[in-house]
Amino acid sequence: MNLEDKGNINDDKGDIDGKNIKKICVIGLGYIGLPTASMLANHGYEVVGVDIDSKRLESIKNGKLKINEPGLMTLVKGAINSGNLKVKREPEEADAYIICVPTPVIWKENTPKCDLSYIYSAIDSIKPYLHNGNLVIIESTIPPKTTEKIFKYLNKKIYMAYCPERVLPGNILKELVENDRIIGGIDKKSAKLSKEIYSSFVDGNIYLTDPTTAEMVKLMENTYRDVNIALANEFAKICNDLDVNVYEAINLANKHPRVNILNPGPGVGGHCISVDPWFIVEVSNNAELIRAARDLNDSMPKYVCNLIINEFKRMNIPDPKISIFGVAYKGNVEDTRESPGKKIIECLMSNGFNVSIYDPYVKTFDYPLEDLEDCVNNSDGILVLTDHEKFKRFKKRDILNIYNSMRNKIVVDTKNILNHNLWKKIGFEVKLLGDGTSWRGKSNK
């Protein structure tokens, strides 16, 4: 739908322009809301950051929030010290509201669905404070047509827009400023008012459209990644069967000028790529490839687990202990949401493995974390699941220490990040996901 075509449905909402927006309430102070609120505060807006998690609010206020995002706490402290950012549990009257609460997927009778309960409770919490002419922006990832539904649900003379977030965890502050933004306004003025706000700190281009297109754009971006990762993962399984090294094959295929195959891995985690494609599946019966890609990526933890089980059976290792390197869902972050590592650990434990876990980036996890020394002590194998920089940078001395602590000397690298020649030279047997030649026993599931 073209915004120009939608007429002046806002005529009786009260006349505001961007310059009248001085006070903004940001609802949800997580990975997205906190940097956004701080950025706005540092660019002159009076910002009220709202979160229902009191402990989080306390640690933000006293500067002790433990979040492994470069530069974030400096930005937050600057915003609080400037007096422009205050954080609290309840919203208050403001000119604009930005919603950044979680939108996980839930499964009901084998059908995935976006859990919009956080969105609606955030919307209900601001409803009593909304006046004619206020602006409500949703940043959380939502299924197509949700913004329109919420607009109708609110049933107020307000402006409204959907402005999806596209930042990369680990690089949030840079991308918040540099990335292009898409704004889907419920009408032209909503889009323009929202643009005014984001222009205060965004250096990238800001494109205006309608909400359903903007919702679809966000989902298409992550689905594009998911489907392409699924293809790489399928290639890895096939190459494993054929005794071909998938990385060599990908590298050679990518010499083609119009081919760019991604790298395979132990599964797709995080709260975006592994979740968002389901929001398209939820609204359309035509999302067949998208569903298949999701299922394929979700099959990878079991596939990796079976590779390990078969290999250890062949080697006849009694009471095996395996050391997991990395449970964050991706490299150099502390975030373990939807991590394939958790599924692999549970699969290995239920198949009689003793599992120890080392992740120097992660602070809390569902299973105990150990330091490197304890993790590899008397272990029979290392299973690398995350491409952390620290793993890539293991020196000869570190690898020798690991070697001397272990009972059997096997390394399974599902991310192709270790210096394999060095590990082999020291005496390790190195196995690679997607390289059939490195495995003694194979899994076809």
Ligand X SMILES: NC(=O)c1ccc[n+]([C@@H]2O[C@H](COP(=O)([O-])OP(=O)(O)OC[C@H]3O[C@@H](n4cnc5c(N)ncnc54)[C@H](O)[C@@H]3O)[C@@H](O)[C@H]2O)c1
Smallest CA-to-CA distance from 304 within 379, 236, 235 is with 236
Q: Please state the closest distance from residue 34 (CB atom) to ligand X, in A.
A: 8
114 vs 430 by CB, closer to ligand X: 114
CA distance 360 to 371: 8
Instruction: Return the closest-CA partner of residue 49 out of 19, 18, 26, 77.
Output: 26
CB nearer ligand X, residue 135 or residue 272? 272
Active site residue 272: yes
Q: Report the C-alpha gap between 83 and 80 in whole angstroms.
A: 5
Query: Do residues 297 and 268 lie in contact, with contact meaning Cβ atoms separated by under 8 Å?
Result: yes
**In degrees rounded to 5, what are phi and psi of residue 74?**
-65, -45
Give the pairing of strands 105-108 and 111-114.
antiparallel
Q: Where are the alpha helices (DSSP H) in 200-356?
A: 211-242, 246-253, 276-283, 288-315, 340-350
> 3-state DSSP helix/strand/coil percent for the chain, to nearest 5?
45, 15, 40
* Rounded alpha-carbon distances, angstroms, from residue 56 to 29, 89, 261: 8, 10, 40
- Measured from the CB atom, the residue of 10 and 222 that comes closer to ligand X is 222
Q: Which are the contacts of 444, defined by CB distance < 8 A and separation ≥ 6?
A: 241
CB of 169 to ligand X, least distance (A): 5
**Number of other CB atoms surrounding residue 366 within 10 Å:** 12
Compare residues 10 and 336 and give the one whose CB is closer to ligand X: 336
Determine the Cα–Cα distance for residues 263 and 231; give it in Å rounded to an integer: 9
Query: Where does this chain bind ligand X (CB under 6 A)?
Result: 27-33, 50-53, 56, 100-103, 118, 121-122, 125, 139-141, 165, 167, 169, 271-272
Nearer to ligand X, 130 or 272 (CB): 272
Distance from the Cα of residue 262 to its chain's centroid: 17
Give the list of residues 6+ apart from residue 107 with CB closer than 8 angstroms, or none: 113
Q: Please confirm, yes or no, whether 431 is among the known catalytic residues.
A: no
Please count the other Cβ atoms lying within 10 Å of the Cβ belonging to residue 377.
15
Residues 13, 189, 195, 218: which is the catalytic one? 218
Question: Would you say how long the chain is, in residues?
Answer: 445
* Residue with the shortest CB distance to ligand X: 30
Q: Which is nearer to ligand X, 338 or 380 (CB)?
A: 338
Residue placing its CB nearer to ligand X in the complex, 272 or 376 = 272
Q: How far apart are CA 30 and CA 51, in angstroms?
A: 8
R_g of the chain, CA atoms, integer Å: 24
Q: Would you say 162 and 209 are in contact if contact means Cβ atoms under 8 Å apart?
A: no
Closer Cβ to ligand X, 222 or 240, answer by number: 222
Comparison of 194 and 443: residue with beta carbon closer to ligand X? 194
The CB-of-414 to ligand X minimum distance in angstroms stands at 23
Please state, in angstroms and rounded to a whole number, the distance separating the CA atoms of residues 214 and 434.
Answer: 37
What are the φ and ψ backbone dihedral angles of 396, each rounded to 5 degrees? -55, -45
Q: Are 260 and 254 spatial neighbours (Cβ–Cβ below 8 Å)?
A: yes
- Active-site entry in 163, 272, 305, 375: 272
Where does residue 231 rank: exposed (0-12), middle (13-18), buried (19+ CB within 10 A)?
A: middle
Residues that are catalytic: 218, 272
